[in-house]
Structure 1
């Protein structure tokens, strides 16, 4: 995902400025609707094999096909369907709150099944959480 490649560049810019390092979190509070964050998210999701979509009101997703080895691993280990390949997905959800807007990020592998509903395998990473927090902060949010 280009966004995930974009995060280190933002982190470098943020790291060069004197400020506190935000807590590692996939959630942040914004005073106003973070349109710039969602515009950047959509723009960064435009490479080969990537697709951006607004799945519901204030829910945005960037999906990307995986390299062959990762694809094979997910199909074999999660009983996937080889005619419907797994993808990595980053989902941003915005919720109106009394203090403004809360944005939550979810990162997972979407593995379609031979029968039944797809499996969502969560991607857990402290490094990724920190990078997402730094992105939120650079876009005017307060990670929480």
Structure 2
């Protein structure tokens, strides 16, 4: 948890780290995430149509720090999340990739802690580029 530039938000939408455009929906993305997210402490969620997440438990020290700093609960531990969300537009599919820490709260819900990480953004951009995505002008 040390070294993270932390900005907390209580609910989506999250500011995407990477945005790419695809001529066709990248169906291989939804097949690749479960393959890449299959290690110990990792799980895949599909919170809605067009959205897939890879969630990974934080190391004990990072989890403890997140729970204390963001008034989390120990009943559900904080997770590092990489979320891919797709939106259909006229003639294209937009994929947004976002990295954050989800800290479950005592009263329910989660606090999302955005952390800019150039290495993670590069990896997400590389994955989406290999799948045929082109960067969107910001």
Q: Pick the TM interval, shorter chain.
A: 0.7 to 0.9
Structure 1 equivalent of residue 82 of structure 2: 90
* 1:85-112 superposed Cα distances (whole Å, 9 cap, x missing partner): 1111111111111232000011111111
Structure 2 equivalent of residue 124 of structure 1: 116
Distance across 1 between alignment mates of 2:57 and 2:117: 20
Structure 2 equivalent of residue 16 of structure 1: none
Structure 1 equivalent of residue 107 of structure 2: 115
Structure 1 equivalent of residue 18 of structure 2: 26
SS at match of 2:29: helix
Distance across 2 between alignment mates of 1:83 and 1:117: 12
What's the CA shift for 1:70? 0.6
Task: Return 5+ residue gaps in structure 2 as ranges.
Answer: 1-16
Pick the structure with more strand per residue: 2
TM-score normalised per structure 2:
0.80
Q: Select which of 57, 68, 79 maps to 1:65.
A: 57
Pick the structure with more helix per residue: 1
Q: Select which of 70, 92, 95 maps to 1:103.
A: 95
Runs of 4+ in structure 1 deviating by more than 4 angstroms, as ranges, are none
The structure with the largest alpha-carbon Rg is: 1
Structure 2 equivalent of residue 79 of structure 1: 71
Q: How many residues align?
A: 120
RMSD between superposed Cα atoms in Å: 1.4
8 Å contact kept, 2:99–2:120: no
